[in-house]
Amino acid sequence: MNNQVKIKVPGREKYELFSLETGAYELKIIAQQMVEWIEITFPHLKDVEDNYKLVGNEATSKAEFLFKDDYGKDFNVEHSICKLLGFQCDKKFQDVGRYIADEIIDISNVSQLIFNCSLTESNYINGKEVPFLYNCGIDVPVGYRLARELTDISYKNLTTSQISNIRVWVVDQDGAPVNLRNDDLVVTLSLKLKQRVTRVSIGP
């Protein structure tokens, strides 16, 4: 697990341990969880959401903490969240300021999402023959939500004329299954039917 960090709030010198429940999170959700924990644990603090921020820099793909008050962060704990956010494990900072991670965010190492379907003909992708419908390149910084809506639809031939069930599965660029960790995934399929006309010769 890599889900813990110590947080200091204004008016207190002691750093308190924050633990994020195990799961798959966007950077935005991690930030929200931290803010909510501070607000619940220290209800007397005002404007927490404005004074304590964890954001992602889209240009560098690095995490940044923005403090407008005497907040602090200590990553030197067991099961530290440091590597996930790109900070050194011995990093500790406090007071008003902007604190930038040393490395890029390491929430996910998936660069492609490949949608396969049990009814379609196979084609080659990344040197492998697979029945893929769509190859979705990930072009957003790690930790951000990805959404796609296709406007130019290309159809593939089916491998059967009778459909009793359809199986769709998602793999990464290496063909490994993608663990969605209970995240919602909606896939809409469009089926285009063609009527075949057979020529019949009628003799005299």
pLDDT digits (tens, 9 = 90+) for 6-17: 999 999 999 999
Distance (Å, rounded) from C-alpha 4 to C-alpha 30? 11
* Sequence-distant (≥ 6) Cβ neighbours of residue 66 within 8 angstroms: 52, 53, 54, 55, 98, 99
Continuous segment of H or E residues that includes residue 115: strand 112-117
Q: Which amino acid is at 75?
A: F
pLDDT of 199 higher than 90: no
The verdict on pTM exceeding 0.85 is no
User: Once rounded to an integer, what is the mean pLDDT over residues 113-128?
Assistant: 85
**Highest mean pLDDT of the ranges 26-30, 58-62, 114-118:** 114-118
Q: Minimal CA–CA distance to 98: which of 141, 129, 122, 67?
A: 67
The yes-or-no verdict on residue 97 having pLDDT over 60 is: yes
Q: Is the pLDDT of residue 77 over 70?
A: yes
Measure the CA–CA gap between 119 and 180, rounded to whole angstroms. Answer: 23
Per-residue burial over 152-187, b = 16 or more CB atoms within 10 Å of its CB, e = otherwise: eeeebeeeeeeeeeeeeebbbbeeeeeeeeeeeeee
In the predicted structure, residue 189 carries a pLDDT above the cut 60: yes
Q: What is the mean pLDDT of residues 119-128?
A: 84
Q: What three-state secondary structure class fits 26?
A: coil
Report the chain's terminal Cα–Cα distance, integer Å.
82
What percent of the chain clears pLDDT 70, i.e. is strictly above it?
88
Main-chain dihedrals φ then ψ at residue 85, nearest 5 degrees:
-90, -5
Average pLDDT of every residue of the chain: 85
Q: How is residue 143 annotated by DSSP?
A: T
pLDDT, tens only, 136-177: 887 776 556 777 777 777 788 888 888 888 899 888 888 888
Higher-confidence residue of 61 and 34: namely 34
What is the pLDDT, as a whole number, of residue 148? 77
CA–CA dist 21, 188 (Å, integer): 31
